[in-house]
Amino acid sequence: MDQIQQIVYQLTEKEVVGNNNISNNLAGDVAKETGNSLMEGLQNAVSGGNMGELMNMFGGSDANSLTSNPIVKNIIESLTSKLGANVGLDAGISGSFASSIIPQILSMVMGKAKSGDFNITDILGSLTGGNATSILDQNGDGKLGIDDALSAVKNGNLGDLLGGFFKK
């Protein structure tokens, strides 16, 4: 997650400096709200059981396809609200910035996951408080085994989950 936060700060700073509508001295606040909105949105998706949408998001091929994902839409809406309430940006500027930066960040994270720079299990573990087993444990016995994998494949969950990661 530290690596994701670094991406957030790097891209946010670049985007703020290049944006005439946002003062450069707000870059730190904007980056903080961007990171918070992103992490909260991903955690809410996991806790809400939206694994299929989460996997579709991580398996997307480009930034443009991300904006149609419901999780991404929620993150953008959250960031737009936070930038207005906590940073004092105009709603139009906040919305434009959020709609631009969130797909950029997620595209970079997806690229790093596909190239092997990020471990998806670690990301899922971080989003679930370190317990990715709870998401993948299909029979609720607290262990991951072949029966969980078979159940996940039968129910379609595992195929959806893994299919999103390995699309080319």
Q: Would you place residue 4 in the very low, low, confident or very high pLDDT band (cuts 50, 70, 90)?
A: confident
Chain mean position to CA 84:
21
* 107 CB-side CA count, 13 A: 14
Q: How far apart are CA 127 and CA 43, in angstroms?
A: 5
**Which residue is listed with tokens 């530290």?**
2
pLDDT in tens, 37-68: 999 998 888 778 777 777 777 666 566 678 88
**Which residue is listed with tokens 């700060």?**
9
How far CA 142 is from CA of 127, 132, 136, in Å, comes to 18, 11, 10
**Of 113, 117, 6, which is closest to residue 60 (Cα–Cα)?**
113
pLDDT in tens, 67-88: 888 999 999 999 999 999 999 9
Structure tokens at 17: 């400096």
How far CA 73 is from CA of 18, 51, 103, 143, in Å, comes to 23, 15, 10, 34
pLDDT in tens, 14-44: 999 989 999 999 999 999 999 999 999 988 8
**Of 24, 31, 42, 35, which is closest to residue 2 (Cα–Cα)?**
35
